[in-house]
């Protein structure tokens, strides 16, 4: 029985430090403060609350990066070396206090996905701190798995604490729901890259908890997920979190992953029954009952169907681009202005008053809407092809048979909560 190797922390930390230093030489920092004073309206108009919180001094963002790096190191140590569930719970409480209530959930690694997408699209400059908040959990996932999810992410920590009586979700239902994060990730990147807003921040279920204030709908959304989390462990992490998709990609090649049983596995199935997120892969020592010929035919069929899935869903994405782009602010603004100009709406909106609408303004709005529509067609085409690739790859993976002598944790779905350690008789 092979046991987990001891991670060489010094070499990994040196590599991460070198990576950070090289990136700091090429990227300049950007302040999040207001560039111009906000206008004073005399019409009773109230400036809406921002989805991304208030600006802070740049030094505090560097402190956040340092704390994030230290928390990730602590998580890797507690999960892989110390193998301590109590230590992970302590880290969860710290993360809820610091990354949740103190930082008010902003800027978080989940939301930074949108900053990176908007920056690559040329909408604004990516600051070094935002990039590091996005990249550090991924770098650690390459070496240690999803230790960010174990006790560093405040969203996962809140859900883990309320999971009092988690029930097992049927595998087929869980598999279908598992495609939602891929759709959410693609939509968030598409809207951020086209200037349509930050969907992840807008629909963050726990922002109302961390900021102690939020719109009523957001509060209901977060409370509903917490109540659901009592019976289904980490529902947001498993079936919604877009950043978890990227962490899962990085975790597939990690070397120092969770090993439930450090000694000879006795196949007691305690870890499988205990895992709250159904991430335990059972042993496959029993002989295969299905004929090999049928299994090979099914595998070949799924391989041939892979390009079909990609093409069909890419076409579906192309045709869905126009209705989905109607939720973009540019498209909404054009629709409002056109209704008012045509006389369908008698009262003028605030947008029309501010723009002083004439033919030139409408021409500019239509030009912007056409550009947005073209971007959405390309983006939805790529998103559809990606979803087809995900579905096809899942079917191919399900048709393969891998031998495992012991119970093992699936690195893609395992959140490194360390709950299984305490139930293993050989731990």
According to the 3-state scheme, what is the secondary structure of the chain? CCCCCCCCHHHHHHHHHHHHHHHHHHCCCCCCCCCCCCCCCCCCCCCCCCCCCCCCCHHHHHHHHHHHHHHHHHHHHHHHHCCCHHHHHHHHHHHHHHHHHHCCCCCCHHHHHHHHHHHHCCCCCCCHHHHHHHHHHHHHHHHHCCHHHHHHCHHHHHHHHHCCCCCCCCHHHHHHHCCHHHHHHHHHHHHHHCCCCCHHHHCCCCHHHHHCCCCHHHHHHHHHHHHHHHHCCCHHHHHCCHHHHHHHHHHCCCCCCCCCCCCCCCCCCHHHHHCCCCCEECCCCCCCCCCHHHHHHHHHHHHHHHHHHHHHHHHHHHHHHHHHHCCCHHHHHHHHHHHHHHCCCCCCCHHHHHHCCCHHHHHHHHHHHHHHHHHHHHHHHHHHHHHHHHHHHHHHHHCCCCCCCCCEECCCCCCCCCHHHHHCCCC
pLDDT higher than 90, residue 217 = no
Binning pLDDT at 50, 70 and 90, where does residue 22 land? very low
Across the chain, mean pLDDT equals 83
Give dist(CA 136, CA 142) in Å, integer. 10
Q: How many CA atoms lie within 13 A of 371 on its CB side?
A: 12
pLDDT of residue 421: 83
For the chain, give the percent of residues with pLDDT over 90: 45
pLDDT of residue 384: 96
State the average pLDDT over residues 247-272.
81
80 versus 262: the higher-pLDDT residue is 80
State the average pLDDT over residues 232-251.
94
pLDDT of residue 1: 38
pLDDT higher than 50, residue 90 = yes
Binning pLDDT at 50, 70 and 90, where does residue 8 land? low
pLDDT of residue 165: 85
Structural domain boundaries in the chain: 9-30+54-198+228-285+407-423, 292-395
Binning pLDDT at 50, 70 and 90, where does residue 218 land? confident
State the average pLDDT over residues 235-255.
93
pLDDT higher than 60, residue 47 = no
Q: What is the pLDDT of residues 124-163, one digit of tens each?
A: 788 899 999 999 999 999 999 999 999 999 999 999 999 9
pLDDT higher than 90, residue 406 = no
Please state which of the ranges 29-43, 84-98, 218-232, 358-372 shows the lowest mean pLDDT. Answer: 29-43
Find which of 50-59, 184-193, 321-330 is predicted with most confidence, using mean pLDDT.
Answer: 184-193
Find which of 227-236, 258-267, 275-284 is predicted with most confidence, using mean pLDDT.
Answer: 227-236
pLDDT of residue 3: 40
State the average pLDDT over residues 388-394.
94
pTM of the model: 0.82
pLDDT of residue 191: 94
pLDDT of residue 251: 92
Give dist(CA 247, CA 233) in Å, integer. 19
pLDDT higher than 60, residue 216 = yes
């Amino acid at each position: 029985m092979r046991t987990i190797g001891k991670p060489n922390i010094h070499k990994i930390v040196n590599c991460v430090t070198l990576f950070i230093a090289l990136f700091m030489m090429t990227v300049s920092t950007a302040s999040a403060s207001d560039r111009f004073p906000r206008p004073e309206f005399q019409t009773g108009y109230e400036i809406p609350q921002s989805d991304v919180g208030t600006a802070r001094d740049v030094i505090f963002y560097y402190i956040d990066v340092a704390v994030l790096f230290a928390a990730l190191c602590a998580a890797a140590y507690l999960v892989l070396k110390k193998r301590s569930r109590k230590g992970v719970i302590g880290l969860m409480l710290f993360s809820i206090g610091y990354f949740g209530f103190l930082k008010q959930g902003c800027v978080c690694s989940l939301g930074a996905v949108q900053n990176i997408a908007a920056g690559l699209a040329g909408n604004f400059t990516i600051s070094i701190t935002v990039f590091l908040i996005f990249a550090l959990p991924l770098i650690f996932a390459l070496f240690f798995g999803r230790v960010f999810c174990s006790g560093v992410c405040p969203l996962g920590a809140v859900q883990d604490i309320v999971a009092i009586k988690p029930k097992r979700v049927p595998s087929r239902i869980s598999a279908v729901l598992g495609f939602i994060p891929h759709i959410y990730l693609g939509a968030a990147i598409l809207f951020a890259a086209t200037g349509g807003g930050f969907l992840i921040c807008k629909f963050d279920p726990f922002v109302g908890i961390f900021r102690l204030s939020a719109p009523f709908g957001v509060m209901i959304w977060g409370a509903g997920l917490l109540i659901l989390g009592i019976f289904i462990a980490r529902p947001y992490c498993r079936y919604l979190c877009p950043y978890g998709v990227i962490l899962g990609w990085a975790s597939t090649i990690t070397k120092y992953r969770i090993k439930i049983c450090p000694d000879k596995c006795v196949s007691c199935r305690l870890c499988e029954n205990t895992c709250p997120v159904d991430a335990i892969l059972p042993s496959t020592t029993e002989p295969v009952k299905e004929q090999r010929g049928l299994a090979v035919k099914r595998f070949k069929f799924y391989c041939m169907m892979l390009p079909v899935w990609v093409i069909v869903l890419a076409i579906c994405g192309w045709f869905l681009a126009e209705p989905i782009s109607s939720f973009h602010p540019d498209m909404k603004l054009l629709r409002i202005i056109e209704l008012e100009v045509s006389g369908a709406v008698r009262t003028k909106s605030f947008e029309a008053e501010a723009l002083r609408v004439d033919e030139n303004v409408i021409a500019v709005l239509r030009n912007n809407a056409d550009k947005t529509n073209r971007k959405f067609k390309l983006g939805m085409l790529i998103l559809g092809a990606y979803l087809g690739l995900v579905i096809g790859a899942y079917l191919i993976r399900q048709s393969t048979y891998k031998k495992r002598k012991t119970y093992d944790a699936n690195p893609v779905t395992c959140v490194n909560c360390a709950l299984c350690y305490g139930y293993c008789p050989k731990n």
